[in-house]
Amino acid sequence: CERLQLQHLSELPQVEHINVGSDLAEGLTQTPKTLPFKYLYDDRGSELFEQICKLQEYYPTRTETKILQEFAGEVVTITGASELVELGSGSSIKTRILLDQYQKLGYLMYYLPIDVSGGILEVTARQLLQDYPTLEVHGLVGTYQEALMKLQPTKLPTRTIAFLGSSLGNMTPQGADNLFSQIADILQVGEYFLLGVDLQKPREIVEAAYNDSQGVTAAFNLNILEHINRRFDGNFDTSQFMHCAIYNQTEQKIEMHLQSLTAQTVELNNLNLKVNFLPGETIRTEISRKFDLHTIQKDLREYKLIPQKVWHDEHQWFGLILCRL
């Protein structure tokens, strides 16, 4: 279909592959052990994340959705974009609220979803083409950094880059700064960056969201081991690890861990790596930082991403910030 282009960045000869897995080996050999959160998102991981988004305890998705439903018209009127780039697009469910408004007001022509899961990206892109007959979709399968590096200059007058769902919280402060700097380099003066951030709130609410009663988050967390087994010929036994998520109040972030239930040794043959675990030792698989609206706006300003408008829900649980370069 002419309106659909899908580029798998990892299959492009220009993308370097020499260091595949080195981030993983590094994290598993340090104390405390960590894993890069990108490995949470194989196709199964992305499916499980979609299920998490529908859980009653997981407040971020429904809160951000409500804000978008209420204010998407304003976002569209201000940005008037012809091209929407979305980092970590997943199933693009919330994005549809924006796409509807853009199309209604006759603005958007190109949608460039970026995601590490090729499976979900392709299914979503095909569905969007059916539902939006005038939209062109150019999906990029890869990490945000890879994809932003490959982004061509826009042929159309205005581009908006959206980063919803508070995925920024999964990055370290340094990682977030690097991303802001990359975005500021890509945007032209007068173009926009739309950022969704999960805000600081009482620990019980956050911890419940990451320890749901149906165990979906636990399955999502444990799936990282299955993904790594497949990719690196490993022998992690998921029954020997347990999900836990604890709020670090001082640093205002939830930390997701996998705790080893016994003393065990895991081998990752493709990396020539043996990893020893003590009973009770954990691997940190994800951080999810919770933001303060004032501080995050100050950070954005340092990269010349100037907040134009901020929207939030009635409890100030989630914020949507529209910045202009």
Nearest approach, Cβ of residue 265 and ligand AVI (Å): 28
Q: Could you please report the per-residue DSSP string of 28-93?
A: HHSSSEE--GGGG-SHHHHHHHHHHHT-SS-HHHHHHHHHHHHHHHHHHHHH--SEEEEET-TT-T
Q: Which is nearer to ligand AVI, 165 or 319 (CB)?
A: 165
Distance between CA atoms of residues 193 and 150, nearest Å: 18
Q: Which is nearer to ligand AVI, 101 or 166 (CB)?
A: 166
CA 105 to chain centre: 28
Q: How far is CA 146 from CA 9, 57, 155, 286, in A?
A: 7, 33, 20, 20
Residue type, 111: Y
Q: Which is nearer to ligand AVI, 60 or 142 (CB)?
A: 60
Q: Which is nearer to ligand AVI, 71 or 210 (CB)?
A: 210
Tokens, residue 114: 């970026």
Nearest approach, Cβ of residue 286 and ligand AVI (Å): 6
* Close Cβ partners of 294 (under 8 Å, ≥ 6 residues apart): none
Residue nearest to ligand AVI (CB): 288
* Close Cβ partners of 273 (under 8 Å, ≥ 6 residues apart): 25, 28, 29, 267
Q: Please, is 118 exposed, middle or buried when counting C-beta atoms within 10 Å of its C-beta (0-12, 13-18, 19+)?
A: buried
Bridge partners of 275? Answer: 266
Nearest approach, Cβ of residue 293 and ligand AVI (Å): 17
Nearest approach, Cβ of residue 318 and ligand AVI (Å): 11
Q: Which is nearer to ligand AVI, 296 or 325 (CB)?
A: 296
Nearest approach, Cβ of residue 165 and ligand AVI (Å): 5
Nearest approach, Cβ of residue 276 and ligand AVI (Å): 27
Distance between CA atoms of residues 176 and 198, nearest Å: 14
Nearest approach, Cβ of residue 47 and ligand AVI (Å): 13
Nearest approach, Cβ of residue 94 and ligand AVI (Å): 12
Whether 222 contacts 245, CB under 8 Å = no
The DSSP H or E segment spanning 33 is strand 33-34
Nearest approach, Cβ of residue 196 and ligand AVI (Å): 9
Tokens, residue 88: 């970590």
* 114: nearest Cα among 74, 161, 158, 154: 161
Whether 193 contacts 33, CB under 8 Å = no
Q: Which is nearer to ligand AVI, 3 or 66 (CB)?
A: 66
* Close Cβ partners of 11 (under 8 Å, ≥ 6 residues apart): none
Tokens, residue 82: 């012809």
Q: Which is nearer to ligand AVI, 217 or 223 (CB)?
A: 217
Binding site for ligand AVI (CB under 6 A): 52, 60, 165-167, 169-170, 210, 217, 256, 286, 288
Q: Which is nearer to ligand AVI, 136 or 286 (CB)?
A: 286
Q: Which is nearer to ligand AVI, 60 or 139 (CB)?
A: 60
